[in-house]
Amino acid sequence: MAGTTVEHYNDSISLRVVEALATATDTAAHELEPLYNVVDPEALDQLCKQDTNDGIHVTFEYGDSLVEVRSDGTVSVDGNVHGNG
């Protein structure tokens, strides 16, 4: 539709994961395979919306990369930290 805008939530952990993967693999974010093929993005976002920081973390493989997401908002790809909420 003409004039329609899409609102992106830049603070979501799932988008930060995509950005970190794009940086780590030197690939444009829109060229990456969808994150939902590997992990549920909504579940990742919920993990970081918790009011408590229980030290929860999720680790998964995306292609040849090992991704770790922590409940404090930290995203690392192959051990390199790409952001902390």
**2 part of a folded domain:** no
Domain region containing 58:
13-83
User: pLDDT by residue (tens digit) across 2-17?
Assistant: 443 334 445 789 999 9
**4 part of a folded domain:** no
**65 part of a folded domain:** yes
**1 part of a folded domain:** no
Q: How many domains does the chain have?
A: 1
**36 part of a folded domain:** yes
All residues at 6 or more sequence positions from 64 whose CB lies less than 8 Å from its CB, including other chains: none
User: pLDDT by residue (tens digit) across 26-79?
Assistant: 999 999 999 999 999 998 888 777 665 677 889 999 999 999 998 888 899 999
CB 62 within 8 A of CB 44: no
